[in-house]
């Protein structure tokens, strides 16, 4: 969905867009400070020059495998140097990485391959005991478009391509650079695709252009105060926009990215101390785990951490107030989405703002509009659904015209489905959401998708998935079911359907409530607000009646 020509001109004239492909910024850094460290992943340490020479090597080899500019590559890799080098290789070639999460399984990947018409799939051999290579080969054997399975790890089977070998430095760095410079992508073309945390059955593809993602990344550099001295710890999945954006921003600033595949505090604290990490980004559930771990690990030296960005789900005020100075000198709250720009608090803002708001737009070109149920703007200070538009916000999902008709207004505003309030000082406070999803510690679960699974269980007459409050993850999924007369429905039955469909495990509801009927709104829809209140009340009652912990 291209940006209208007049909008392109406006964003360029204002300096939000710079007519440059994304990898140009990384090449600049590699030319300026080739020997500065760019990536640290365990024992692997790559300089900015290494990063670009490997990316160029990989881009040339992808070309030899038949991949061309604009071809889509489905990428399902854990955080690691291989993932970053592959993404940069795609940027250099003009191929488009489609970033899936490692939790996704065949159900999600089949859909993504088909929707993106992917020509290659990149996976680890195995991860946490799961055979990703086997899964990718089954998908590839059935999908007419997929020609290559790229596998990272020790066990690359015959017929798969060894990804680590593909990512070795270019044999002729100057020649590779010249060849790739000659096919440099159009800055208005798609650089990468992210997945929507949306409400529909399967995720929508979010195509971010070189120029819009470049604007996003440069805005992060400014607002997160990243410099060549920054050491950014990336431990949330890079398939999400903010972890990816912050990692690229640290590199564009000339700094270094330290990669961890999980946010476990035991390991993260040791990494922070060893690498003198200056900044990182967490979701609230992880921040809480870190705070708890800090109580038992008071020895690790976290004094290098200047900035901790927390977002992706609502950070409770009480938690916000404890993060600095326990874990960092400065807390930064953030609100954003794969589809667009982000709001962030600023370093130096008063505590009231940092503790109680989710920031203000990080790019001066971002526009916010709050509307009521009638679609009309709400009075100042009142909560409303947030619509956004701007130089980092898409104008439509990839190949989804019907969905786009509802998700965007005619004049290009994205309906976020989030209910927010804007304070007189311009800072935004997330108050709730209208969209039908569960935000499980930052991972989004579409209610519609899980309800569709539930309807496949024998004996289910009606099903509704709602968020239940959770002290650790913020929210978890609770399934309400009305069984057919005489039928018995168990959570295991729902789990079995989801497993049989080959869908990601995090979609399995964590609680089942069987009821005789579901409440409905006055227009006859299932009243999910009432169900959310009902489960919250049940949990409260259980807490009151639970025996006190000894």
110 within 8 A of 143, measured Cβ to Cβ: yes
Residues of span 354-393 touching ligand AMP by CB under 6 A: 358
Residue 440 lies near ligand AMP (rule: CB under 6 A): no
Which DSSP state fits 520? Answer: B
Residue 43 CA to chain centroid, in angstroms? Answer: 26
Nearest Cα to Cα of residue 113 among 105, 182, 36, 361: 105
Select 254 or 359, whichever has its Cβ closest to ligand AMP: 359
Q: Residue 214 to residues 98, 253, 340: CA-CA distances in angstroms?
A: 17, 12, 12
Among positions 38, 253, 302, 313, the unique one binding ligand AMP when judged by CB under 6 A:
313
CB of 287 to ligand AMP, least distance (A): 12
Select 283 or 497, whichever has its Cβ closest to ligand AMP: 283
Segment lying near ligand AMP (by CB under 6 A), choices 67-75, 170-178, 333-341, 392-400? 333-341
Whole-angstrom distance, CA of residue 171 vs CA of residue 164:
15
Select 185 or 197, whichever has its Cβ closest to ligand AMP: 197
Residue 398 lies near ligand AMP (rule: CB under 6 A): no
Segment lying near ligand AMP (by CB under 6 A), choices 37-45, 108-116, 298-306, 308-316? 308-316
Whole-angstrom distance, CA of residue 47 vs CA of residue 304:
21
Select 156 or 309, whichever has its Cβ closest to ligand AMP: 309
List of E strands, 406-509: 414-422, 428-433, 437-440, 443-446, 460-470, 474-483
Among positions 61, 63, 208, 314, the unique one binding ligand AMP when judged by CB under 6 A:
314
Whole-angstrom distance, CA of residue 76 vs CA of residue 130:
13
Q: Would you call 405 helix, strand, or coil by DSSP?
A: helix
Select 85 or 437, whichever has its Cβ closest to ligand AMP: 437
446 within 8 A of 200, measured Cβ to Cβ: yes
Whole-angstrom distance, CA of residue 437 vs CA of residue 202:
12
Taking the CB of residue 436, how many other CB atoms lie within 10 A of it?
Answer: 19
CB of 356 to ligand AMP, least distance (A): 12
Residue 389 tokens, joined: 């538009």
Select 269 or 397, whichever has its Cβ closest to ligand AMP: 397
Select 26 or 323, whichever has its Cβ closest to ligand AMP: 323
Whole-angstrom distance, CA of residue 6 vs CA of residue 315:
38
Number of residues that bind ligand AMP (CB under 6 A): 19
Residue 439 lies near ligand AMP (rule: CB under 6 A): yes
Select 30 or 281, whichever has its Cβ closest to ligand AMP: 281
CB of 107 to ligand AMP, least distance (A): 18
CB of 217 to ligand AMP, least distance (A): 16
Among positions 119, 240, 256, 389, the unique one binding ligand AMP when judged by CB under 6 A:
240
Select 120 or 319, whichever has its Cβ closest to ligand AMP: 319
Residues of span 417-436 touching ligand AMP by CB under 6 A: 418, 430, 433
Residue 173 tokens, joined: 């760095």
Close Cβ partners of 231 (under 8 Å, ≥ 6 residues apart): 250, 255, 256, 258, 275, 276, 277, 278, 279, 304
Position of minimal CB gap to ligand AMP: 197
In terms of C-beta density within 10 A (0-12 exposed, 13-18 middle, 19 or more buried), how is residue 191 classed? buried
Close Cβ partners of 411 (under 8 Å, ≥ 6 residues apart): 389
Among positions 312, 391, 483, 509, the unique one binding ligand AMP when judged by CB under 6 A:
312
CB of 386 to ligand AMP, least distance (A): 8
CB of 25 to ligand AMP, least distance (A): 23
Among positions 210, 389, 444, 507, the unique one binding ligand AMP when judged by CB under 6 A:
444
CB of 312 to ligand AMP, least distance (A): 5
Select 21 or 198, whichever has its Cβ closest to ligand AMP: 198
Residue 197 lies near ligand AMP (rule: CB under 6 A): yes
Only one residue has tokens 């992508």, namely: 185
Residue 237 lies near ligand AMP (rule: CB under 6 A): no
Whole-angstrom distance, CA of residue 38 vs CA of residue 351:
33
Whole-angstrom distance, CA of residue 308 vs CA of residue 278:
9
Select 86 or 437, whichever has its Cβ closest to ligand AMP: 437
Among positions 239, 311, 391, 396, the unique one binding ligand AMP when judged by CB under 6 A:
311
Residues of span 67-106 touching ligand AMP by CB under 6 A: none
CB of 340 to ligand AMP, least distance (A): 9
Q: Residue 383 to residues 360, 380, 484: CA-CA distances in angstroms?
A: 15, 9, 40
Select 133 or 209, whichever has its Cβ closest to ligand AMP: 209
Which DSSP state fits 235? Answer: -
Residues that bind ligand AMP (CB under 6 A): 197, 240-241, 311-314, 334-338, 358, 416, 418, 430, 433, 439, 444
């Amino acid at each position: 969905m291209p940006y209208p020509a007049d909008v392109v001109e406006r964003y360029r004239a204002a300096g939000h867009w710079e007519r440059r492909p994304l990898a140009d910024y990384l090449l600049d850094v590699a030319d300026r400070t080739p020997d500065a460290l760019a990536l640290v992943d365990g024992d692997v340490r790559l300089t900015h020059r290494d990063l670009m020479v490997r990316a160029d090597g990989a881009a040339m080899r992808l070309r030899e495998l038949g991949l061309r500019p604009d071809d889509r590559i489905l990428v399902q890799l854990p955080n690691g140097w291989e993932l970053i080098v592959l993404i940069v290789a795609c940027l250099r070639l003009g191929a488009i990485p489609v970033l899936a999460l490692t939790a996704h399984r065949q159900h999600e990947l089949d859909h993504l391959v088909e929707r993106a018409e992917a020509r290659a799939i990149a996976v680890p051999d195995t991860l946490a005991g799961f055979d990703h290579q086997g899964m990718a080969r089954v998908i590839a054997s059935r999908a007419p478009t997929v020609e290559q399975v790229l596998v990272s790890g020790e066990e690359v089977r015959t017929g798969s391509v060894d990804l680590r070998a593909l990512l070795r430095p270019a044999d002729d760095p100057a020649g590779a650079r010249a060849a790739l410079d000659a096919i440099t992508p159009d800055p208005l073309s798609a650089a990468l695709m992210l997945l929507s945390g949306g409400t529909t059955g399967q995720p929508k593809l979010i195509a971010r252009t070189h120029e819009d993602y470049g604007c996003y990344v440069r805005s992060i550099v400014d607002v997160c105060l990243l410099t060549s001295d920054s050491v950014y710890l990336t431990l949330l999945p890079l398939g999400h926009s903010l972890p990816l954006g912050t990692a690229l921003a640290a590199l564009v600033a000339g700094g270094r990215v330290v990669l961890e595949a999980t946010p476990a505090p035991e390991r993260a604290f040791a990494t922070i101390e060893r690498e003198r990490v200056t900044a990182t980004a967490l979701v609230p559930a992880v921040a809480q785990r870190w705070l708890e771990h800090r109580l038992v690990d008071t020895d690790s030296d976290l004094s290098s951490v200047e900035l901790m960005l927390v977002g992706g789900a609502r950070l409770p005020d009480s938690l916000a107030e404890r993060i600095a100075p326990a874990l960092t000198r400065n807390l930064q709250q953030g609100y954003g989405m794969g589809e667009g720009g982000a709001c962030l608090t600023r370093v130096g803002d008063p505590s009231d703002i940092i503790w109680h708001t989710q920031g203000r737009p990080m790019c001066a070109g971002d526009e916010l509009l709050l509307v009521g149920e009638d679609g009309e703007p709400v009075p100042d200070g009142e909560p409303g659904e947030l619509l956004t538009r701007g130089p980092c916000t898409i104008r439509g999902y990839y190949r989804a015209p019907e969905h786009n008709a509802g998700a965007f207004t005619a004049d290009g505003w994205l309906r976020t489905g989030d209910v927010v309030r804007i304070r007189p000082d311009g800072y935004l406070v997330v108050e709730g959401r209208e969209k039908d999803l569960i935000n499980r510690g930052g991972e989004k679960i579409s209610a519609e998708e899980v309800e569709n699974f539930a309807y496949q269980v024998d004996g289910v007459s009606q099903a509704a998935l709602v968020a239940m409050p959770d002290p650790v993850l913020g929210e978890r999924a609770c399934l309400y079911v009305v069984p057919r007369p005489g039928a018995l429905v168990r959570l295991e039955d729902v789990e079995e359907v989801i497993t049989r469909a080959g869908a990601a495990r995090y979609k399995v509801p964590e609680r089942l409530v069987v009821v005789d009927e579901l409440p409905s709104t006055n227009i006859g829809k299932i009243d999910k607000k009432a169900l959310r209140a009902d489960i919250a009340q049940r949990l409260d009652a259980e807490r009151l009646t639970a025996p006190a912990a000894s």
